[in-house]
Structure 1
Amino acid sequence: MSTGHVLLGLLSRGQQHGYDLKAGHDALFPSARPMAYGQVYAALTRLRDRGLIEEAAVERAGGPERTTYRLTPAGRDELEVWMSAAEHPPSEVNNPLATKLNVALVAGGPDEGALFLRRQRSAHTARMRDHTQTKRAADATLTQVLAADYALSHLDADVRWIDDALARLGEITREVTP
């Protein structure tokens, strides 16, 4: 996800200043890490420099200046191109669990590898319970439910990988240890 494209999307709803854009991001993506103000303003500067947004107004109401931004026609075009493009799955996958397992096997042997996998499985299932609780909450929004479903799917895939790695620990150990 590109921060700039998210901001373009938020600006497609109308003129806004950085504070509103940050609040809009955090409300629209409740399960994502909140966007930092520095991230917002750095992205706005890049978008402005590329001609995708422009300053609509600068206000001063008893505090620092507040600049309101609006989407330019080039910004709307860029947003449409981005939205129409499929997100291609990466050809290489960074699997921190496999990395840590291999290091545990090399440094501590199969018992250490098995211990890591069991601890990781426990951490994953605890997080799955949290997401399940979130999606079942009476006041959960559809956005929150879908975000929890996404996280649960990924966590479930990891748990299946962990179970497979545990079942094949002997083979993995022979492969990664001298």
Structure 2
Amino acid sequence: MSVPLTLLGLLEREPSHGYDLKRAYDTWFGHDKPLPFGQVYSTLARLTRDGKVVVSETEAGAGPERKRYVITEEGASDVETWLQEPVAPEPHLQSVLFSKVVLAILLGRDAHDYLDTQKVAHLQRMRELTAIKSTGGSAALLDTLLADNALFHLEADLRWIDVTVARLDQLTREIHS
């Protein structure tokens, strides 16, 4: 899970204070593991330093000043590139796959195209793993078992992709409600 890119995606949706970003992140992506406030602000500091976001305004309050962050063109370009690139087909992708689908919907992008691209990448990796299984060698059984493990994970991802595609309209309505 890329916290910086996810926060950038949330900022592309609308300029926000750090507190609001944390709340949005936790609502959409932190069900089992909420994002610590310190991580939000340290990430925002790095994104500001790197020119991905700027502070648009600072509000005085009873506590510390509240800064409203706005994504820059460079930050938006990074989000666009990240959303278009398939994730390397490896086990335990659901959180990244899920994040990309939800962010694409939140940003009004075509999540279906992303899922199609991801499915193609998974199928290519499955062909590569199947080829590994068909080659012999001294470690053939070990290679076969490792390839089988990866294939089973990729098959589960493909099932998740298919189910998500089938529910994409429903998910879009739910996210925008």
User: Given the two structures, how large is their TM-score scaled by the length of structure 2?
Assistant: 0.50
- Compare relative contact order (CA 8 Å, sep 6+) and give the higher one, 1 or 2: 2
CA radius of gyration, larger in = 1
